Amino acid sequence: MQAVTLTDQGQVRAYNEDSTNAVKNSLGEYLVVVADGMGGHKAGDVASALAVESLQLSWKEEEAGFRPGRAEAWLLHTIQQANETILSLSKEKPQYAGMGTTIVAAVCTNEFITIAHVGDSRAYLIGHDGLSQKTSDHSLVNELVKNGQLSEEEAEDHPRKNVLLRALGTDMNVKVDVHTFEWDEQDVALFCSDGLTNKVSDTELQDVLNSNQLLKEKVAELIRLANEAGGEDNITAAIVENSPSSGSEV
């Protein structure tokens, strides 16, 4: 497998509250994490960094390989740990009160990919059948769409589009969605914050991911497209390719 991550401040924000990383273990399996923080200056960025760091530290302690059931249990446990860490710090330090973060994280092996998420950061898979979104946003607007109270078109520019129904660091118990998918050689996974998906269409995502560029060029192109479309938010993308190569582009 190969993986690359990139985060960008965007064109408007004064600082970057997104965090990301991709870490490979000795068996060639990857942990990939994207987190989009909230809570204002020196709070949202702290929350997202804590989420990524917490999972990364736990990953480095793992020595055994993963099967789907174990990957799902591991992600649920470590994301809950990250939630408790963020919540504890927000209670200890007044300047961090109210901070939180989205998270989308995955354990990637050559046979399967297990994806867990909280909030509106997303995961996509692209293979023979094209681009497929594998997460469902935990947002007010998405819930209204699912209930038939808003159309997809109305949701695009809804004034409460950024209202989240779930986030890390806001409650002691957090509900995490986790699913496992098989994937084939040459399939590609994309993990991203809403700073990308609010600005770049599914068609554009698919075109870039299907291109012959290197992974680092693909992720840079996605960031460029979001910035070109306005870049009002921080933008983060992580791409993993299920290639036979043992090399990494991180």
Would you state the pLDDT for residue 10? 97
For residue 15, pLDDT over 50 is answered with: yes
137 vs 147, which has greater pLDDT?
137
Would you state the pLDDT for residue 105? 98
Report the share of the chain in percent with pLDDT over 70: 91
pLDDT averaged over every residue in the chain? 91
| pLDDT band (50, 70, 90) for residue 246 | very low
Q: Annotate 217-231 with b (16+ C-beta within 10 A) or e (fewer).
A: ebbbbbbebbbeeeb
Contact 200, 219 (CB under 8 A): no
Would you state the pLDDT for residue 64? 81
For residue 247, pLDDT over 60 is answered with: no
Would you state the pLDDT for residue 211? 95
State how far the Cα of 23 lies from the Cα of 60, in Å rounded to an integer: 8
- Strand (E) or helix (H) holding 171: none
pTM: 0.93
For residue 183, pLDDT over 50 is answered with: yes
For residue 248, pLDDT over 80 is answered with: no
For residue 109, pLDDT over 80 is answered with: yes
| pLDDT band (50, 70, 90) for residue 245 | low
State how far the Cα of 180 lies from the Cα of 153, in Å rounded to an integer: 30
Report the share of the chain in percent with pLDDT over 90: 80
Would you state the pLDDT for residue 143? 75
Would you state the pLDDT for residue 39? 80
Q: What is the mean pLDDT of residues 139-158?
A: 70
State how far the Cα of 94 lies from the Cα of 13, in Å rounded to an integer: 23
For residue 164, pLDDT over 60 is answered with: yes
Lowest mean pLDDT of 14-23, 56-65, 69-78, 207-216, name the range. 56-65
